[in-house]
């Protein structure tokens, strides 16, 4: 990959992050105007739409690193969404807060139900494969067993299928051997497909050109005519004995049917594997999203609880109207929301383990362990930027009145 292409991809990701820095403060200004009015709930419902649009934009910008899409999207877009929503909780009316919590619970329940249905459907299809020996209730183990039998099942991988990850992972000997086996299978399959393509091309060329050898007087003229016109002369054949094929027609038809059946079985197996990988990808995104919705409100509540006791609290615009007397009531609403999200995370983990055989805690631990540097640096950067972004020393006033300038002069 050229340096120009790398710079172009980095610029696209940076552009999406810059858009977030503009969109969320603008939305905060809109929500501040609509707070405690009839437009509070409709304006609040815009936030999930903003999150969805930004997720799609970020996914498209970071599509070249497919393995890092969940962690990049969640620890960027979901962080901003959870942080700004946590800062809105202290000014929400009880009706709006109850509506938001009910909608969030319904959304989580629908996502779990859809994930369960897809996983059960895939597991049932995997169990019906002819080479699978036993019923497997763990989706990850079932996918691993399919990959171990990739040569027997004849799985046809797409061009976008990647065996190696774009980031380094510490693998066991068994996992390293499985990846080597998949790479050898892909190389063998691509070479076989290339050979069949060349063979078909040569066969078409051989059937288009007349192979009848003419006499010595006209051979040179016909060769020149064929080269200049690009066509071969067609001559009738008068007396040729009929060709007698060695196999019978019934045997040939049965072989063709068996070949078509094997190809159809390979296609079906490939579809099952692709759907299983999509379910695992979606499951990882859900786990990380629920994790962020628990961590961010908790961190923000601790920040408010500590900052209100410092002399610099008067310069933070999000702490307007909050003092040492009412800080407990404000923080209790934030912690209540974080506790509700923690309960949602526990329900998600239990149902995924029970119905899909997917261990949510293992998925979360895998991401936090293998991408520790990215997760810690990203969280620290976004927390420092978003918390200091609202300090009046930086000239940020989302009401666009700048009354603090008049008071200082």
pLDDT tens-digit series, residues 158-182: 555 666 666 666 667 766 666 666 6
The yes-or-no verdict on residue 216 having pLDDT over 50 is no
Name the residue among 181, 185, 239, 231 with its Cα closest to residue 210. Answer: 231
Residue 116's pLDDT is 84
Question: What is the overall mean pLDDT for the chain?
Answer: 74
Q: Give the pLDDT band of residue 209 (cuts 50, 70, 90).
A: very low
Residue the block writes with tokens 């061009």 = 159
Instruction: Please answer whether residues 91 and 395 qualify as being in contact, where contact means their C-beta atoms are separated by less than 8 angstroms.
Output: no
Tens-digit pLDDT profile for residues 321-369 = 888 888 898 899 899 889 989 998 998 888 888 877 788 898 899 888 8
Instruction: Please answer whether residues 379 and 75 qualify as being in contact, where contact means their C-beta atoms are separated by less than 8 angstroms.
Output: yes
Q: Give the pLDDT band of residue 90 (cuts 50, 70, 90).
A: confident
Instruction: Please answer whether residues 163 and 183 qualify as being in contact, where contact means their C-beta atoms are separated by less than 8 angstroms.
Output: yes
Residue 291's pLDDT is 92
CA distance 110 to 184: 40
What does the domain layout of the chain look like in residue ranges?
1-210+253-360+369-402
Q: Give the pLDDT band of residue 240 (cuts 50, 70, 90).
A: very low
- Residue 120 CA, chain-centre distance (Å), reads 20
Burial class (CB in 10 A: 0-12, 13-18, 19+), 139: buried
CA distance 316 to 79: 20
Instruction: Please answer whether residues 96 and 40 qualify as being in contact, where contact means their C-beta atoms are separated by less than 8 angstroms.
Output: yes
Instruction: Please answer whether residues 287 and 366 qualify as being in contact, where contact means their C-beta atoms are separated by less than 8 angstroms.
Output: no
Tens-digit pLDDT profile for residues 103-141 = 888 888 888 888 888 888 888 877 777 666 656 677 777
Instruction: Please answer whether residues 13 and 77 qualify as being in contact, where contact means their C-beta atoms are separated by less than 8 angstroms.
Output: no
Neighbours of 177 (CB within 10 A): 12
Tens-digit pLDDT profile for residues 34-80 = 888 888 888 888 888 999 899 898 888 887 777 778 888 888 899 99
């Amino acid at each position: 990959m050229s340096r120009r292409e790398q710079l172009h991809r980095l610029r696209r990701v940076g552009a999406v992050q810059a858009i977030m820095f503009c969109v969320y403060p603008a939305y905060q200004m809109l929500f501040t105007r609509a707070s405690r009015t009839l437009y509070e709930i409709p304006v609040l419902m815009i936030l999930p739409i903003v999150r969805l649009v930004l997720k799609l934009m970020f996914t498209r910008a970071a599509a070249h690193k497919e393995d890092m899409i969940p962690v990049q999207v969640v620890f960027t877009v979901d962080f901003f969404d959870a942080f700004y929503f946590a800062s809105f909780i202290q000014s929400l009316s009880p009706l709006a807060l109850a509506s938001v919590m009910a909608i969030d619970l319904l959304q989580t329940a629908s996502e779990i139900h859809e994930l369960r249905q897809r996983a059960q459907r895939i597991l049932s299809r995997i169990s019906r494969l002819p080479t699978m020996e036993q019923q497997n209730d763990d989706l990850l183990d079932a996918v691993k067993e399919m990959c171990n039998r990739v040569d027997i099942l004849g799985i046809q991988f797409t061009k976008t299928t990647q065996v190696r990850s774009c980031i380094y992972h510490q693998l066991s000997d068994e996992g390293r051997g499985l990846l080597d086996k998949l790479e050898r299978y892909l190389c063998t399959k691509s070479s076989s497909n290339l050979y069949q393509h060349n063979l078909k091309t040569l066969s078409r060329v051989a059937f288009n050109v007349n192979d009848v050898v003419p006499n010595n007087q006209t051979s040179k003229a016909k060769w020149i005519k064929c080269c200049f016109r690009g066509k071969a002369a067609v001559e009738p054949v008068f007396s040729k004995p009929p060709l007698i094929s060695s196999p019978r027609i019934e045997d040939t038809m049965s072989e063709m049917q068996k070949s078509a059946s094997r190809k159809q079985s390979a296609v079906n197996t490939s579809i099952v594997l692709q759907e299983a990988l999509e379910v695992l990808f979606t499951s990882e995104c859900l786990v990380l999203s629920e994790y962020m919705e628990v961590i961010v409100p908790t961190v923000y509540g601790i920040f408010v609880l500590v900052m209100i006791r410092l002399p610099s609290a008067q310069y933070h615009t999000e702490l307007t109207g909050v003092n040492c007397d009412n800080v407990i009531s404000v923080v209790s609403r934030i912690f209540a929301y974080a506790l509700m999200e923690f309960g949602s995370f526990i329900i998600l983990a239990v149902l995924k383990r029970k119905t899909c055989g997917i261990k949510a805690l293992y998925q979360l631990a895998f991401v936090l362990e293998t991408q520790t540097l990215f997760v810690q640096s990203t969280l620290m950067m976004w927390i420092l930027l978003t918390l200091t972004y609202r300090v009046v020393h930086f000239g940020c006033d989302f009401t666009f009145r700048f009354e603090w300038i008049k008071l200082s002069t």
